[in-house]
A and B are shown apart, each in its own frame.
Chain A
Amino acid sequence: MSLKTRLIPCLDVKDGRVVKGVQFVDLIDAGDPVAAAIAYDAAGADELCFLDIAASHEGRETIFDVVARTAEHCFMPVTVGGGVRTIEDIRKLLLSGADKVAINSAAVTDPDFISRAADKFGNQCIVVSVDAKQRLDQAVGGDNGQAVRREDKESQWEIYTHGGRKPSGLDAVEFAARMVERGAGELLVTSMDRDGTRSGFDIALTRAIADAVAVPVIASGGVGTLDHLVEGVREGHASAVLAASIFHFGTFTIPQAKQYLQSHGIAVRMDRAA
């Protein structure tokens, strides 16, 4: 046997509270990220991911408390992303109980930061968030001047930073390869086009990056059905699949998703949680 495909629920956290609604049976406080994390742990999630989208400096501080309280109860890997810009940010998250940190904007503005972080904490700790959008070329022009998908295969996707608001001009596949050279141990590949749409991963993007790098790729952005998870692994070549709303809103449970993956020939971990 080899490694199992990892299923990772992601919690968006703002000022210490889960932003997207979480609907679990028996969950007293659905807005508490720690309660949600404990529920996912018990359900057999393979890892947890917190994305801190804090609105304020005070909000930023609360993530350390969320991570620390989660680590007291959940004995599984925890990744924390959002606003990670300095070596000190990483150290504080690790001391709180995080195992990995996801770095986005800082990786684009200062690639050397990835090298320094990997040297300091090890490659296994450094996840680079690759937030990409399909390039649209207005100049080519479709009917009625609509934007059309660019045919240029050399640069099909562009990296965005600051939560998908700022285009960087960088090609996503090239950027991903460069981050791995710098020491990223894993890539979290999110399609900004698909995020929140429930229309499935951008499979071409996921596969282009997964096939270009030697480190594991987590597919993210757009999951609406269990088939999307299967596609991410089979066609996108991802080592792990991340989803938020299908789990938060109770559309599917973690065991349902795992059973579905397994029934489609994808090896998953079916251990009962401790």
Chain B
Amino acid sequence: MSLVTIIDYGAGNLRSAANAFERVAATLDTPPEILVTADPEAVRRADRIMLPGVGAFADCKAGLDAVAGMREVLEERVIAGGVPFLGVCVGMQLLASEGREKTVTPGLGWIPGAVERLTPSDPGLKIPHMGWNTLTVQKPHALLAGIPDGPDGLHAYFVHSYHLVTDSADTRLAIADYGGPVTAAVGRDNIFGTQFHPEKSQALGLKLIENFLRWTP
């Protein structure tokens, strides 16, 4: 049985993420095991890795750094080993070179860019960007396959005040419009990240999770 680990580093709606992954896994021909874990050794054995994250960038980074050996295992498996990786919300933002929420905090640096505060052109727009928005795919990707985008497409659930501004347009795979472009999905090689919450995005989210569980980068 293949193994999908959802990393528990004290940040994130782990139960919700695990529920959605379990729901999708059960529909596959060979369902993988879904494991929520803080154990780097379990992550080392994983065939797929998911990094959730809710809260402030610096707190999440500190939480991840506080799990002894986790960062090293992630670098080893995701960067060197090519294991499919999905980061969600702050778990996606942590892929950036640095976060600029409150203080400047170095990120994992896997997707060059910085996490910046949203600055909608219309000052009347509320922050956080909280609710359902459609996506505009910038670059087709296996994880976005079968998900209708554009104004008549499916909706994703967002809740955030900061987003990852990538250095290269190549790594920005999907955007949402909120008084200007908001980064909705990033990726390169075996690494993918969403600013929105697939585990809370009903039809769109479950499709994306299914794509991730089937993904062979």
Interface size class of B (residues with CB under 8 A): 35 or more
Determine which of B13, B14, B202 lies in contact with A273 in the assembled complex, contact meaning CB atoms within 8 Å: B202
Determine which of A41, A97, A121, A124 lies in contact with B130 in the assembled complex, contact meaning CB atoms within 8 Å: A124
Q: Which partner residue on chain B sits nearest A94 by CB separation?
A: B13
Determine which of B55, B128, B151, B202 lies in contact with A1 in the assembled complex, contact meaning CB atoms within 8 Å: B151
Q: Is the CB of B130 within 8 A of A239?
A: yes
Q: Which partner residue on chain B sits nearest A186 by CB separation?
A: B130
Q: Please measure, in the bound complex, the distance between the C-alpha atom of A76 and the C-alpha atom of B202, giving whole angstroms.
A: 6
Q: Please measure, in the bound complex, the distance between the C-alpha atom of A136 and the C-alpha atom of B14, giving whole angstroms.
A: 47
B183 at the interface (CB under 8 A from A): no
Q: Please measure, in the bound complex, the distance between the C-alpha atom of A33 and the C-alpha atom of B206, giving whole angstroms.
A: 23
Q: Is the CB of A75 within 8 A of B23?
A: yes
Chain B binding surface SS class: mixed
Q: Which residues of A contact B127 (CB under 8 A)?
A: 214-215
Q: Is the CB of A271 within 8 A of B125?
A: no
Q: Is the CB of A4 within 8 A of B133?
A: yes
A123 at the interface (CB under 8 A from B): yes
Chain A binding surface SS class: loop
Q: Which residues of B contact A120 (CB under 8 A)?
A: 55
Segment 194-212 of B: residues with Cβ below 8 Å from A: 197, 199-207
| A212 CB to nearest chain B CB (Å) | 12
Q: Is the CB of A99 within 8 A of B203?
A: no
Q: Which residues of B contact A269 (CB under 8 A)?
A: 132, 155
Q: Is the CB of A125 within 8 A of B54?
A: yes
Q: Is the CB of A216 within 8 A of B154?
A: no
Interface residues of B (CB under 8 A from A): 13-16, 19-20, 23, 54-56, 125-134, 151, 154-155, 157-161, 177-179, 197, 199-207
List 15 other contacts, CB 8 Å, given A4-B133, A271-B202: A2-B125, A3-B158, A4-B155, A71-B15, A75-B200, A77-B157, A95-B14, A97-B16, A120-B55, A121-B54, A185-B130, A215-B130, A216-B126, A271-B132, A271-B204
- In the A-B complex, the 5 residue pairs with the smallest Cβ-Cβ separation, listed nearest first, are A122-B55, A274-B203, A3-B131, A124-B159, A269-B132
